[in-house]
């Protein structure tokens, strides 16, 4: 637990492998070779989407665009698109691009300075809670992060994380064999509760809220993935049984 919680603490400077002048936020800029590489990755992803869309911006956000970076960080590369341009098919395009994102990220193992690159099509109209956002396309800060002292209640994070871990473990243990619909429902319910728990924290206290830190803890120790893996295993087993019956 300690190594995960210690990763939440704020650093004195930005990551020197990504940024020039990492000690001076007013003069910090993305290293040219990093920017060129990220734009190349973004272009590959945009081509993979398979649609001729107008890209408003390509941004990098998350902890590597802030002072809370760690060994657990990844590069969040966002393709900004106005989904209103898709008209009545807006929701269809959102679902399609989310699916494309999942497929692309699963098919590729792209790293920059040993940090994984995660790509996502972001609706330019949706609010973003991050305090550090850099425009890779225009090579400038959109939201310049500020170094600040953050008090982290280690015991509170440990206790709440353990509660969620117990909930996840107990839910998985109580799944009924052969009842796919009920089991998937139970797993989805836990996922939705965790999502709302985190969203409430982000809204009230931002990215350093203990709700968001608990979510990050669960993601970094594998418990979020555990929910997804169990759901996929259930579906796979159910489909395999159906195939055998045929």
Question: What are the tens digits of pLDDT across the range 133-180?
Answer: 999 999 999 999 988 777 888 899 999 999 999 999 999 998 876 678
Cβ neighbours for 210, distance < 8 A, ≥ 6 positions apart: 152, 153, 156, 157, 160, 201
Copy the structure tokens of residue 188: 């989805």
Q: pTM for the full model?
A: 0.77
Low-confidence ranges of the chain (pLDDT < 70): 1, 177-178, 241-246
* Rounded Cα–Cα distance for residues 226 and 235 (Å): 14
* Rounded Cα–Cα distance for residues 98 and 208 (Å): 26
């Amino acid at each position: 637990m300690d190594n995960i919680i210690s990763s939440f603490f704020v650093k004195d400077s930005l990551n020197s492998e990504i940024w020039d002048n990492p000690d001076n936020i007013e003069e910090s800029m993305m290293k040219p070779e990093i920017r060129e590489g990220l734009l190349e990755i973004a272009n590959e992803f945009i081509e993979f989407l398979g649609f001729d869309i107008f890209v408003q911006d390509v941004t990098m956000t998350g902890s590597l665009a802030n002072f809370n970076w760690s060994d657990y960080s990844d590069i969040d590369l966002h393709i900004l698109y106005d989904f209103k341009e898709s008209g009545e098919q807006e929701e269809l395009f959102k679902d399609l691009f989310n699916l494309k994102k999942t497929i692309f990220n699963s098919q590729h193992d792209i790293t920059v300075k040993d940090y994984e690159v995660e790509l996502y099509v972001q609706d330019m109209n949706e609010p973003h809670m991050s305090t550090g956002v850099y425009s890779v396309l225009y090579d400038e800060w959109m939201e310049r992060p500020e170094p600040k002292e953050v008090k982290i209640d280690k015991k509170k994070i440990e206790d709440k994380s353990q509660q969620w871990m117990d909930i996840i473990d107990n839910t998985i243990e109580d799944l009924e064999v052969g009842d796919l619909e009920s089991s998937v429902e139970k797993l989805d319910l836990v996922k939705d509760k965790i999502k709302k728990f985190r969203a409430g924290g982000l809204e009230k206290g931002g990215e350093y809220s203990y709700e968001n830190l608990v979510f990050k803890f669960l993601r970094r120790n594998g418990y979020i993935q555990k929910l997804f893996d169990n759901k996929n295993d259930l579906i796979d087993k159910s489909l395999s049984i159906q195939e055998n019956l045929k």
